[in-house]
Amino acid sequence: MLTDAELTERAATKVMGWGLVKRISGGLMFDRHDRCHLDIEEWQPLTDIRAAWEIVEKMRERGMWLKLTSPFNADDVWNAGFTDFGFTGWNGRPDYREQADAAPRAITIAALLAVGAVTKEEVEID
């Protein structure tokens, strides 16, 4: 299973299209291609809905729509999924979907699945 740091790095590079820049002092930053570098610690799409929504907007630019469903009961999970524009997925379900305890995590992992940056096996919880 991939770590949260590995998932975040893949979301930045494979979904958002950002580069990685090594700091002189050590560590990494994301290169957003707008002359702005972002510390890895500052962009956490697995836990921060603002960062996760940046992923939603990028996926929209890629031609995919989001279906997000909140928990129905207190012990339920969030469901997020992406499907190409103009399609409803199989039986109304998004083609690439994930469940998680928090919406940002479900959104991020569903996007990673949609762009082929991870497999279901790499993100499954043991």
Give the global pTM.
0.88
Q: Which residues pair with 27 in a beta bridge?
A: none
CB atoms within 10 A of CB 100: 19
The predicted pLDDT at position 63 comes to 95
Write the DSSP string, 31-60: E-SSS-EEEGGG--TTT-HHHHHHHHHHHH
Domain layout of the chain by residue ranges: 4-119
Q: What is the pLDDT of residues 63-90, one digit of tens each?
A: 999 999 999 998 899 999 999 888 776 6
What's the pLDDT band for 37 if we cut at 50, 70, 90? confident
Mean per-residue pLDDT for 2-23? 90
Q: What is the pLDDT of residues 85-104, one digit of tens each?
A: 887 766 666 788 899 999 99
Q: Is the pLDDT of residue 2 over 60?
A: yes
Average pLDDT along the chain:
88
Give the lowest-confidence range in 39-43, 45-49, 69-73, 77-81: 39-43
Q: What percent of the chain has pLDDT over 90?
A: 61
Structure tokens at 50: 């603002």
